[in-house]
Amino acid sequence: MTLRILIAPSGFKESLEADEVANCIETGILRACADAKIKKAPLVDGGEGFTKALVAATGGTLHNITVQGPVGQPVESHYGFLGNTDVKTAVLEMAAAAGLRLVPREVRNPLVTTTYGVGELIKAALDAGAERILVGCGDSGTNDGGAGMAQALGVQLLDAAGKELGKGGGELVKLKRIELSDRDPRLGQVQIDVACNWHNLLCGSKGVARVFGPQKGASPEVVEQLAAALDHYADVIERDMGIDTRETPGSGASGGLGTGLSMFLQAKLHPRYDIVMQYLEIDSLLSESDLVVTAEGSIDFQTPRGKIPVEVAQRAKKYQLPVIALAGTIGKDAQLNFEHGIDSFESILDAPCTLDQAIANAPQLVTNAAERAMRLLLVGQKLNQ
């Protein structure tokens, strides 16, 4: 019997984009099973590749632009316009202006990284005539609550002396007053929808600083500084705007950018797959498959909290399909994923190596891991004959 295999991976952060991962998996599978019938559906979750994927899926256009990066340097970025829409719809991803990939390892410090460039992308979309804007949140290198983004669009975040706050999440502890009078007036004329991880919260024990701060270079002490700064930020927002955003679903997305977008731009936050799957539908492909292979940089206890492998697995289970997940690392409590539709997972690493080595060799590692998983599956088939 010819196996029909759907490859539906995420990208590997700072390494491979989703389409590159899918191509590597395909190569590995075909080494072991040359007659496999393969379909590929590389997926995005609002992070890296979100804009290009939606532009490609709709036949839209991509526009390059230079913006201020997360550590203040100019970076080459982009936004797009969707094709085949009645409303002129721009699409952009925060990772293209403030992503972790854009923060050199030796200077990673979320006390000072900024989302200012995200605001510049939104302004560019407005300048180009956008009537609706889709914003993808994910893969951030920031923890500033969206303050920099808001400042780029005219929102004033003032300290006790009436001076504008500086860049970075560490500055939020100084916030005294929010002033919206100089906010770009065009923002009131556009609909802004945000694709974000619904599980990410701004504050509390599971707040974004404590959960993701260490990944962005924060020491335990810095994590607590950031958490305190976001708590104060939420206090001022509630006082000045009358809304408690501390544990609003999606408020912690991309270092709290979800809060900045919803509070200062009146954007509507959505579970990211409610947006993504409007343009990257995979159910029809699942119905014509025998096996699903997905992938992401890490499989751990956070994977069931809105990550692509579990999203794919849960959809696959509607069709009673087995699901294999490949991952760069197998982390804490990874076995929890067996309860959420993933039947087997395997690390792509085949020997001890540094992170830099793993990133450099990622294409070969993914390819080899896919081949190993496929050969093991074929052994299982023979035992069942």
**pLDDT digits 0-9 by tens, 226-261:** 999 999 999 999 999 999 999 999 999 999 999 999
pLDDT of residue 383: 84
pLDDT band, residue 280 (cuts 50/70/90): confident
pLDDT of residue 190: 98
pLDDT of residue 137: 96
For residue 295, what is the enclosing H or E element? strand 291-299
- Name the region of 139 (left: φ>0; alpha: ψ -120 to 50; beta: rest): left
What is the mean pLDDT of the segment spanning 126-134?
98
pLDDT band, residue 34 (cuts 50/70/90): very high
* 3-class secondary-structure state, position 114: coil
* 3-class secondary-structure state, position 268: strand
Residue 126, pLDDT above cutoff 90: yes
Count CA atoms within 13 Å of residue 54 on its CB side.
Answer: 30
Tell how far CA 218 is from the center of its chain: 19
Question: In the predicted model, what is the mean pLDDT of the chain?
Answer: 94
Q: What are phi and psi of 298, to 5 degrees?
A: -145, 140
Q: Which amino acid is at 54?
A: L
pLDDT of residue 254: 97
pLDDT band, residue 11 (cuts 50/70/90): confident
What is the mean pLDDT of the segment spanning 62-68?
98
pLDDT of residue 4: 96
177 strand-pairing partners: 158
At 163-205, the pLDDT tens digits run 999 999 999 999 999 999 999 999 999 999 999 999 999 999 9
Task: Tell me which residue has tokens 């992503």.
Answer: 99
pTM for the full model?
0.85
**Do 237 and 249 contact (CB within 8 A), yes or no?**
no
Task: Tell me which residue has tokens 């797009």.
Answer: 80
* 3-class secondary-structure state, position 152: helix
Other CB atoms within a 10 A radius of the CB of residue 105 amount to 10
* 3-class secondary-structure state, position 335: helix
Q: What is the maximum span of the chain, computed from C-alpha positions, in angstroms?
A: 78
Contacts of 158 (CB under 8 A, 6+ apart): 164, 165, 175, 176, 177, 178, 179
pLDDT of residue 283: 86
**Do 137 and 171 contact (CB within 8 A), yes or no?**
no
What is the mean pLDDT of the segment spanning 16-26?
92
pLDDT band, residue 302 (cuts 50/70/90): confident
pLDDT of residue 381: 82
What is the mean pLDDT of the segment spanning 271-278?
88
The CATH fold assigned to 4-43+294-383 is Rossmann fold (3.40.50)
Task: Tell me which residue has tokens 């799957």.
Answer: 277
In percent, how much of the chain has pLDDT > 90? Answer: 83
CA dihedral 274, 120, 97, 227 (to 10 degrees): -80
Tell how far CA 367 is from the center of its chain: 23
Task: Tell me which residue has tokens 């609550």.
Answer: 145
So where are the chain's domains? 4-43+294-383, 50-274
Residue 206, pLDDT above cutoff 80: yes
Residue 281, pLDDT above cutoff 80: no
pLDDT of residue 1: 76
Count of positions (residues) in the chain = 385
Nearest to 294 by CA among 322, 321, 324: 324
What class is the 50-274 domain?
alpha beta
Of the listed ranges 37-46, 223-232, 277-286, the least confidently predicted one is 277-286
Of the listed ranges 69-78, 87-96, 214-223, 302-311, the least confidently predicted one is 302-311
